[in-house]
């Protein structure tokens, strides 16, 4: 097999370089996987390197498997002995061989995150803390964070201005480490940190591993953290060749430990290091690359490059500015349907809608369910299935139905009200004895075997429910304000604060605010509907199964899209405060802005054929302001979108006067969405006379709008099911 076939000059240079230390800056879509795999095949076939003298690090087991399969093809044999793995897999292999020097057996067990949390909780309870209390949660987070940095429990120094309860955390951590060792167990962090400990402290073992490998190759080098980099260096001797591939412009994981300085300072760490830049893109059109290049050029901390392509110029990047979230979503939907009708061999799986955060999926989920368009959320949870949304909906259902034991059971101890297993059992016994629901039992039965503290908290919950019910009867009060006050009174916002991951905490609160805004929008759109109608629709949304396979549109965050590509990319929610994210800008300043810009660059460069950028001027509860176009639009050379006159307070374009508001009937979502058809959007109807450019004249006998196909009986008597596109049919008669 010709290894060099279809390689451009820069790729060939990267594959065949003789440099000992090589940094390949591989722009998006520049064929880095091909280069990395071909480099390994070159070392084996042309240089004569024994396969087991080569080790390659990837960031996922899946990608390691894909590279192995490519190598089998390149080397034209099934048995490939090059070691390709993740850092953690490599660490496990090293420890299986040499961990005995640390007093462990080589048959150790690896604990996953759930096992780790369970052990820490057990220790915390033994030390007098609540199993799921705040201190225990803090201890789990603290231990995870310090171990990811490679710190040691028995040498850790308590900081004078460290975490609250840090001294207790360290004591729990020490006992956790003792029990791990006594059980001959390791957690995930240990796989790298203990490998480093052995290589640092045992010279003979270090030299053994160093002399096993002549070539070390690392993929996605921009995402490497400090511990991983330290492990790489410990595996090297003076003659080891280090070959790294990455793109500083795609460093988007610093929030989870990636250190962008590692790839940027590679030429300082290794004297005489060679840098090869791959700039030719094989994925996107010229219009898409032009926007991406202009955008990322605003970053200062980068290796300068300018992506180009030999592909056609393509379609201009489309920027769409709308007055509301619903119009933004509907515009995207219309573009997708237009593509399906007019593009040959189009599939919904060719489309991805990217957004900055998961809470932005709701308008799309609602609209696509209503239109019966198949979709899935990649790597995420559907909006109505998210924990905080199910919690708040349970609180809302209690307002309209005191007999809803499922909803009451879900929220009675969220936040904590002292309703543990024993208390709940007593409550259920009292409810059964008196033939009441659980909530009614709290309201009407005096002696239900609860502590006075629990009874007081349940009384406060009951009062909040009663007060909110009264307010809901008052048409003069703003519904969203009433609901927000209710969620505040029952203590749910305080409960969110117990989530120690601040990013998760912000997402949960944003999701609740989006739900409240959605209720308000629903009641405005369908004034004849009731609050209970909304809850019914929400329940039916939740009943829909996730689309696992087939022809579906993909919704995902930009972080999840890294490494993926689609023909048609829609980047939605491009407004200041959302993308770029306010918190990223406040927490990290210029560095935060640059990472947000890199994230947007990654979004742009996922597109093969067309790129659409959308935004809405509607008031956004998550950022507490109206939508202003993201700075990234103008930075990409796309110019500011045309915007109508703004509402002075909310930033929403003013509606034109004199327009009569037509009342709309609320959509009724059903478990079987085959009952709903979006025929109103469809260009053909039954009994239409049509003329196909190949099969001639005929009559439409059936339409299938959800598949954008029609059944036609032609004059020849032949019946065919065909794509309903003007590309294949002449204008309707």
Could you give the CA distance from residue 330 to residue 324 in angstroms, rounded to a whole number? 10
Single out the catalytic residue among 219, 247, 388, 507: 219
pLDDT for 342 equals 85
652 near 609, Cβ under 8 Å?
no
Could you give the CA distance from residue 620 to residue 513 in angstroms, rounded to a whole number? 9
CATH superfamily, domain 385-497, is: PCRA; domain 4 (1.10.486.10)
Could you give the CA distance from residue 685 to residue 477 in angstroms, rounded to a whole number? 46
Known active-site residue 250: yes
pLDDT at residue 383 tops 80:
no
Single out the catalytic residue among 397, 606, 609, 610: 606
Q: Which fold has domain 318-381+546-636?
A: Rossmann fold (3.40.50)
Give the pLDDT mean for 92-110: 88
Known active-site residue 455: no
Q: Comparing C-alpha atoms, which of 694, 340, 681 is closest to residue 712?
A: 694
Could you give the CA distance from residue 540 to residue 542 in angstroms, rounded to a whole number? 5
633 near 667, Cβ under 8 Å?
no
Known active-site residue 733: no
pLDDT at residue 264 tops 50:
yes
Judge whether 9-92+194-280 and 385-497 match in fold.
no
pLDDT digits 0-9 by tens, 433-468: 888 888 999 899 888 888 888 889 999 999 999 999
Q: Helix H segments across 450-530?
A: 452-472, 479-489, 492-496, 502-525
Single out the catalytic residue among 16, 17, 20, 33: 33
The domain spans of the chain are 9-92+194-280, 109-183, 318-381+546-636, 385-497, 688-731
At residue 605, the 3 state secondary structure works out as coil
Single out the catalytic residue among 32, 194, 386, 608: 32
pLDDT for 549 equals 44
pLDDT digits 0-9 by tens, 270-298: 989 999 999 999 999 999 999 999 999 99
601 near 296, Cβ under 8 Å?
yes
pLDDT at residue 624 tops 80:
no
Known active-site residue 32: yes
Single out the catalytic residue among 98, 138, 175, 220: 220
Judge if pTM exceeds 0.75: no
| The domain over range 109-183 is classified in CATH as 1.20.120 | no
CA dihedral 357, 362, 368, 369 (to 10 degrees): 140
pLDDT for 653 equals 45
580 near 538, Cβ under 8 Å?
no
pLDDT digits 0-9 by tens, 650-691: 344 444 443 344 455 554 443 333 333 444 556 777 777 888
Could you give the CA distance from residue 32 to residue 20 in angstroms, rounded to a whole number? 19
Could you give the CA distance from residue 516 to residue 68 in angstroms, rounded to a whole number? 49
Mean pLDDT score across all residues of the chain: 85
Between 688 and 224, the more confident residue is: 224
The CATH architecture to which 9-92+194-280 belongs is 3-Layer(aba) Sandwich (3.40)
Stated as kind and residue range, the H or E segment containing 215 is strand 215-218
Residue % of the chain over a pLDDT of 70: 89
pLDDT at residue 254 tops 50:
yes
Known active-site residue 220: yes
pLDDT for 547 equals 33
Q: Which distant-in-sequence residues (6+ apart) come within 8 Å of 22 by Cβ?
A: 14, 241, 242, 243, 244, 273, 274, 275, 276
Q: DSSP string of 263-322?
A: HHTHHHHSTT-EEEEE-B-SSS-HHHHHHHHHHHTT-SSS-----B-SS---PPPEEEEE
Single out the catalytic residue among 11, 58, 250, 320: 250
């Amino acid at each position: 097999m010709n290894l060099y076939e279809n390689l451009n000059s820069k790729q060939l240079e990267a594959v065949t370089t003789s440099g000992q230390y090589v940094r390949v800056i591989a722009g998006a879509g520049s064929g880095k996987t091909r280069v990395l795999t071909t480099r390994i095949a070159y070392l084996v076939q042309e240089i004569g390197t024994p396969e087991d003298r080569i080790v390659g690090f990837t960031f996922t087991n899946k990608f390691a498997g894909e590279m192995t399969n490519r190598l089998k093809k390149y080397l034209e044999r099934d048995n490939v002995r090059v070691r390709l793995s993740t850092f953690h897999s490599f660490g496990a292999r090293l420890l299986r061989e040499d961990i005995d020097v640390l007093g462990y057996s080589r048959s150790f067990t690896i604990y996953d995150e759930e096992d780790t949390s369970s052990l820490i909780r057990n220790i915390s309870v033994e030390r007098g803390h609540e199993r799921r209390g705040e201190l225990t949660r803090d201890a789990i987070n603290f231990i995870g964070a310090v171990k990811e940095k490679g710190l040691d429990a028995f040498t850790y120094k308590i900081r004078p201005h460290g975490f609250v309860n840090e001294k207790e955390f360290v004591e729990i951590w020490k006992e956790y480490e003792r029990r791990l060792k006594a059980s001959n167990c390791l957690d995930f962090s240990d796989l790298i940190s203990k490998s480093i400990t052995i290589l640092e402290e045992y010279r003979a073992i270090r030299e053994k591993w160093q002399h096993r490998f002549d070539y070390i190759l690392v993929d996605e080098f921009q995402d490497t953290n400090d511990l991983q980099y330290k492990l790489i260096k410990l595996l090297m001797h003076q003659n080891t060749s280090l070959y790294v591939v990455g793109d500083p412009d795609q460093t988007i994981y610093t929030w989870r430990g990636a250190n962008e300085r590692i790839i940027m300072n590679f030429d300082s760490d290794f004297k005489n290091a060679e840098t090869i830049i791959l700039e030719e893109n094989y994925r996107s059109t010229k219009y898409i690359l032009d926007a991406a290049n202009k955008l990322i050029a605003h970053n200062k901390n980068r290796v300068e490059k300018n992506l180009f392509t030999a592909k056609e110029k393509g379609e201009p990047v489309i920027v769409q500015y709308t007055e509301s979230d619903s119009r933004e979503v509907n515009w995207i939907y219309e573009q997708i349907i237009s593509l399906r009708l007019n593009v040959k061999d189009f599939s919904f799986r060719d489309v991805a809608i990217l957004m900055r955060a998961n809470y932005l999926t709701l308008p799309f989920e609602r609209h696509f369910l209503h239109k019966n368009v198949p979709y899935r959320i990649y790597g995420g949870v559907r909006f109505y299935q998210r924990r905080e949304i199910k919690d708040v909906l349970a609180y809302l259902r209690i307002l309209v139905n005191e007999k809803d034991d499922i909803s009451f059971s879900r929220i009675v101890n969220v936040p904590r009200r002292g309703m543990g297993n024993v208390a709940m059992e007593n409550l259920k016994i009292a409810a059964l004895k008196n033939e009441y629901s659980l909530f009614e039992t709290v309201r009407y039965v005096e002696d239900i075997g609860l502590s006075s503290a629990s009874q007081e908290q349940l009384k406060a919950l009951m009062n909040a429910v009663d007060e909110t019910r009264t307010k809901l009867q008052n048409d003069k009060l703003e519904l969203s304000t009433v609901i927000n006050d209710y969620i505040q009174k029952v203590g749910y916002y305080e409960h969110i604060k117990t989530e120690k991951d601040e990013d998760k905490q912000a997402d949960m609160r944003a999701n609740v605010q989006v739900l409240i805004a959605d209720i308000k929008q629903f009641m405005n759109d369908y004034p004849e509907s009731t609050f209970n109608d909304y809850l019914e629709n929400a329940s039916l949304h939740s009943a829909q199964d996730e689309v696992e396979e087939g022809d579906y549109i993909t919704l995902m965050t930009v972080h999840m899209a890294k490494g993926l590509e689609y023909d048609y990319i829609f980047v939605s929610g491009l407004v200041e405060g959302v993308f770029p994210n306010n918190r990223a800008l406040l927490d990290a300043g210029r560095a935060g802005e640059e990472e947000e810009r890199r994230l947007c660059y990654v979004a742009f460069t996922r597109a093969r054929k067309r790129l659409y950028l959308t935004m809405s001027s509607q008031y956004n509860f998550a950022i507490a302001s109206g939508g202003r176009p993201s700075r990234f639009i103008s930075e990409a050379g796309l110019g500011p979108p045309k915007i109508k006159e703004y509402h002075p307070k909310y930033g929403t374009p003013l509606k034109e006067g004199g327009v009569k508001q037509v009342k709309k009937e609320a959509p009724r979502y059903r478990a079987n969405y085959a009952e709903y058809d979006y025929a109103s959007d469809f260009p053909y109807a039954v009994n239409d006379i049509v003329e196909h450019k190949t099969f001639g004249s005929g009559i439409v006998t059936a339409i299938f709008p959800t598949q954008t196909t029609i059944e036609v009986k032609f004059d020849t008597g032949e019946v065919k099911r065909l794509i309903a596109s003007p590309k294949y049919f002449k204008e309707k008669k």
